[in-house]
């Protein structure tokens, strides 16, 4: 299997799984969904769009005879990863505080933390990709 087809295959699988999941959500089907459920789906769609962006970029570069990754893209990924990890420490701190105050079980907050980390990475990636000066 060519290197380019693997991300496309993974994204197709994610689309199918997320599609089935949204379709099967009883609350959405019965029109009784809470705002938090819509936000949850919205966040997943944002992360999915981020994956699509990655795949299209890789596909376009490969088609033009360019490498899918180079020194700049690796540097952007490294900077985005390190920044998002640093900020996510505070995110987990806030989540721990909210969990402690709310008294709800900790397991339900893990999902928010993981999705928050993914969103932070996507945000920092786009910041460095479009605007950031990575000579700092």
Partner 1 sequence: MNNRIKELRARFNLTQLELAQKVGVRRETIVFLEKGKYNPSLKLAHDISKVFESTIEEVFIFNQ
Report the interface residues with partner 1, using CB under 8 A: 61, 64-67, 70-73, 75, 132-135
83 versus 99: smaller Cβ distance to partner 1: 83
Residues in the chain, how many?
A: 136
Q: Within 10 A of 33 (CB to CB), how many other CB atoms are there? A: 15
Smallest gap from Cβ 75 to partner 1, in A, equals 8
Smallest gap from Cβ 130 to partner 1, in A, equals 10
2 versus 63: smaller Cβ distance to partner 1: 63
Determine if residue 34 is left, alpha or beta; phi over 0 gives left, psi from -120 to 50 gives alpha, anything else beta. beta
| Phi and psi, residue 118, nearest 5° | -65, -40
Smallest gap from Cβ 65 to partner 1, in A, equals 6
């Amino acid at each position: 299997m060519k290197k380019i087809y693997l991300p496309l295959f993974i994204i197709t699988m994610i689309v199918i799984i997320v599609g089935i999941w949204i379709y099967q959500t009883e609350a959405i089907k019965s029109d009784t969904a809470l705002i938090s459920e819509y936000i949850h789906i919205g966040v997943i769609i944002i992360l999915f769009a981020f994956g699509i962006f990655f795949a299209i970029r890789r596909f376009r570069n490969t088609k033009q005879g360019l490498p899918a990754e180079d020194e700049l893209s690796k540097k952007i990924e490294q900077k985005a990863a390190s920044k998002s990890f640093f900020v996510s420490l505070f995110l987990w701190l806030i989540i721990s505080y909210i969990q402690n105050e709310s008294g709800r079980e900790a397991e339900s907050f893990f999902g928010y933390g993981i999705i928050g980390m993914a969103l932070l990475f996507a945000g920092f990636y786009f910041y460095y990709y479009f605007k950031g000066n990575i000579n700092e």
